[in-house]
Amino acid sequence: MQAKSEFRSREDTQVEVLDALVDRREDGMTVFELRSRVDTDIDGLEDALSELKRDGLIAAESRDDRTLIRPADRVVPSEEEAAAESEDAQSFLAWLRERVGL
């Protein structure tokens, strides 16, 4: 699942972080887990996390000697929003296939 469309105009690394966190919103993710899912170096990840935290789009909590990062509720699309975005993507692909003749 992806973050809501209104948060997708951010820097690429921030969008990747939000998407990864939305996928694991219940469990949260450590910095090391995020590092394995996001295509950037540790400095880029740190910058992205700082910006997202400053803007209130993520929260960090300590549990069992680990720091877990979760997306803010407003970043996570509802089931209806996720279904609508999926339908839009499929409609676009159908249009593209028709235009290309596949």
User: Each residue of 42-65: pLDDT tens digit?
Assistant: 999 999 999 999 999 999 999 888
Answer with the residue of higher pLDDT: 7 or 80: 7
pLDDT for 82: 57
Number of independent structural domains in the chain: 1
- Sequence-ordered list of residues with C-beta below 8 angstroms from that of 53, at least 6 positions apart, any chain: 59, 60
- Sequence-ordered list of residues with C-beta below 8 angstroms from that of 33, at least 6 positions apart, any chain: 20, 24
**Domain range enclosing 65:** 5-100
CATH number of the domain that residue 20 is part of: 1.10.10.10
- Looking at the DSSP bridge assignments, the partners of residue 71 are 58
pTM: 0.76
Query: 4: buried, middle or exposed (CB in 10 Å: 19+, 13-18, 0-12)?
Result: middle
